[in-house]
Amino acid sequence: MAGRNPRRAFGSVRRLPSGRWQARYYDLQGRPHTGPTTFATKGDANRYLATVEADLTRGAWSNPRLGKTTFCQWAERWQQTTTNLRPTTRSLYGYLLGRFLLPTFGELPLARIDVLTVRTWLAELHGAGEVSATTIAKAYRLLGRILGAAVEAGYLPASPCVIKGAGVEHAPEMQVATVAQVRALADAVPARYRAMVLVAAYGGLR
């Protein structure tokens, strides 16, 4: 009939007794889902379905039920299923989790951990000045590994750990003696060690 809107090809919406609108759809595996909230208008519900459909099409959708899993719950599951770690590495990860990750992210649902949350956490760690930049980089890399596994398992559409350089450890700058300092050292040691100092400084030995 002219002027009649065709039925949506993806999902459905219905008006609830409260007057609000509910959106429902099926994922690519045929599992039913209901929108995480109701909507004030039918148009809002349809726009939500359009967003979900686009995410499914481009592979950026994740199960909203799984996204409610807290970081603490997922980290524990990740530890239990990651079996290829050396004892020293597992011990380090346990320390980093308990000291840096769980206090901030532990009770947060995975879906609520975004780039801004991670940036704020990093800024607070660096600003406190209580731990080295190297340790912070290790903690960030562990966070990225745990959340990356959540992406692979379908708990997240993408990892928020995309901050360039945050996981890079910078070795302290090497101090090189000046010519004057080498000469002073050679003059200060007993004569029999003078040649050793000069060869060590200028011989290019490895």
The pLDDT tens digits for 158-204 are: 899 999 989 888 755 556 677 777 777 777 778 777 778 777 776 66
Q: Which CATH superfamily is domain 67-152 in?
A: Tyrosine recombinase, N-terminal domain (1.10.150.130)
- Strand 21-26: give its sheet, edge to edge: 12-15, 21-26, 32-34
The whole-model pTM stands at 0.64
The pLDDT tens digits for 28-70 are: 778 888 888 899 999 999 998 998 898 888 777 778 888 889 9
Burial grade of 29 (CB within 10 A; 0-12, 13-18, 19 or more): exposed
Domain boundaries, the chain: 12-61, 67-152, 175-206
